[in-house]
Structure 1
Amino acid sequence: MILAKIEQLLQSAIGLDASSLGRPAVCGAVERRMTVLGVGDMEDYYGRLTTATDELNELIETVVIPETWFFRDRKPFAALEHHVREKRDRGAMPTSFRALSLPCSTGEEPYSIAIALLEAGVAAQEIRVDARDVSRTALDYARRANYGSHSFRGHQDPAIMERYFIRDETRYLVREQVRQLVHFDRANIIDDALAAARQRYDVIFCRNLLIYLDERFRHRAFGTLHRLLNDDGLLFLGHAEGGTAPPELFLTAGRSTAYAFTKTGEDEEAPHSPAPAPNRRTAPARPAAPARVARARPTQTGAGPRPSPPPQPKPAPEDELELARQLADMGRLAEAREICARYLDDRGRRAQAYFLHALIDNASGETRQAEQYLRKAIYLDPDHYEALIHLSLLLAQQGDHSGAALLRRRAEKASAQCAL
Structure 2
Amino acid sequence: MSLTDIEKLLSKKIGIDCNIIGSRKIAKAVDNRCSACSLSDLKTYLQLLQTSPEEFTELVEQIVVPETYFFRDRKSFDFLINFVKTQWLTKSGHGTLRLLSVPCSTGEEPYSIAIALMEAGLSPSQFRIDAIDISKQAIAKAQQGIYGKNSFRGEVLIDRNRYFQQTGEKYELCPSVRNAVNFKQGNLLNTFFNVQLKYDVIFCRNLLIYLEDSACTEVLKTLNRLLLPNGLLFVGAAETAKVPNNLFTSIRQPFTAYRKKAEGTISKSLHHPPIENHQIENIRGAKKQNSQAKKVSSETFSISYSLSSAPILPEKLTKHTSYLSTIPNGSISEPSLKEIQLSIPENSLSLELAKQLADGGHIEAAIKHCNDYLEQISSTNSQAYTLLGTLYQAKSNYVQAEQFFRKALYLNRNDYEALMHLTLLKEHRGDLLGASILRERIQKLQQNF
Q: What's 1:342 paired with?
A: none
The residue correspondences of 1:138-177 to structure 2 (distance < 5 A) are 138-157=138-157, 159-177=158-176
Paired letter, 1:243: A
Mapped to 2, the partners of 1:28 and 1:92 lie a distance apart of 55
| DSSP 3-state at the match of 1:194 | coil
Does residue 266 of structure 1 match 2:275? no
Cα drift, residue 14 of structure 1: 0.4
Mapped to 1, the partners of 2:262 and 2:184 lie a distance apart of 29
For the 8 Å contact 1:254–1:308, the answer to whether it is kept is: no
The residue correspondences of 1:14-413 to structure 2 (distance < 5 A) are 14-88=14-88, 90-91=90-91, 94-157=94-157, 159-191=158-190, 193-257=191-255, 259-266=256-263, 297-300=271-274, 309=279, 326=319, 384=371
Cα drift, residue 155 of structure 1: 3.9
Paired letter, 1:225: L
Mapped to 2, the partners of 1:389 and 1:5 lie a distance apart of 26
Change (3 A) 1:296 1:197: closer
Mapped to 2, the partners of 1:30 and 1:232 lie a distance apart of 43
For the 8 Å contact 1:81–1:120, the answer to whether it is kept is: yes
For the 8 Å contact 1:355–1:387, the answer to whether it is kept is: no
Cα drift, residue 115 of structure 1: 0.3
Change (3 A) 1:93 1:81: farther
Paired letter, 2:69: W
- Superposed CA deviations along residues 138-161 of structure 1, whole A, max 9, x for unmatched, are 00010000000010003425x520
Change (3 A) 1:386 1:10: closer
Cα drift, residue 240 of structure 1: 1.1
Mapped to 1, the partners of 2:181 and 2:108 lie a distance apart of 11
- Superposed CA deviations along residues 5-25 of structure 1, whole A, max 9, x for unmatched, are 101110111011111112111
Paired letter, 2:241: G
Give the unaligned 5+ runs of structure 1: 270-274, 276-294, 330-353, 360-379, 392-420
| DSSP 3-state at the match of 2:230 | strand
Change (3 A) 1:243 1:155: closer
- Superposed CA deviations along residues 316-372 of structure 1, whole A, max 9, x for unmatched, are 79979x97794799xxxxxxxxxxxxxxxxxxxxxxxx9659x9xxxxxxxxxxxxx
Aligned residue pairs total: 313
For the 8 Å contact 1:25–1:381, the answer to whether it is kept is: no
For the 8 Å contact 2:229–2:262, the answer to whether it is kept is: no
Paired letter, 1:176: P
Change (3 A) 1:108 1:390: closer
Give the unaligned 5+ runs of structure 2: 287-301, 323-348, 355-366, 379-449
Mapped to 2, the partners of 1:70 and 1:211 lie a distance apart of 20
- Superposed CA deviations along residues 259-295 of structure 1, whole A, max 9, x for unmatched, are 00001143769xxxxx9xxxxxxxxxxxxxxxxxxx9
Cα drift, residue 92 of structure 1: 5.2
- Superposed CA deviations along residues 292-313 of structure 1, whole A, max 9, x for unmatched, are xxx9843336xxxx69848898
| DSSP 3-state at the match of 2:131 | strand
| DSSP 3-state at the match of 1:226 | helix
| DSSP 3-state at the match of 1:189 | coil
For the 8 Å contact 1:101–1:132, the answer to whether it is kept is: yes
| DSSP 3-state at the match of 1:105 | coil
Paired letter, 1:249: L
Mapped to 2, the partners of 1:246 and 1:388 lie a distance apart of 35
Q: Which has the higher contact order (CA 8 A, sep 6+)?
A: 1
Change (3 A) 1:219 1:96: same
Cα drift, residue 214 of structure 1: 1.4
Mapped to 2, the partners of 1:4 and 1:265 lie a distance apart of 41
Moved over 6 A (4+): 310-313, 315-320, 322-325, 380-383, 387-391
Change (3 A) 1:175 1:382: farther
| DSSP 3-state at the match of 1:156 | coil
For the 8 Å contact 1:253–1:262, the answer to whether it is kept is: yes
For the 8 Å contact 1:107–1:141, the answer to whether it is kept is: yes
TM-score scaled by length of structure 2: 0.62
Amino-acid identity (%): 35
TM-score scaled by length of structure 1: 0.66
Cα drift, residue 52 of structure 1: 1.5
Q: What's 1:2 paired with?
A: 2
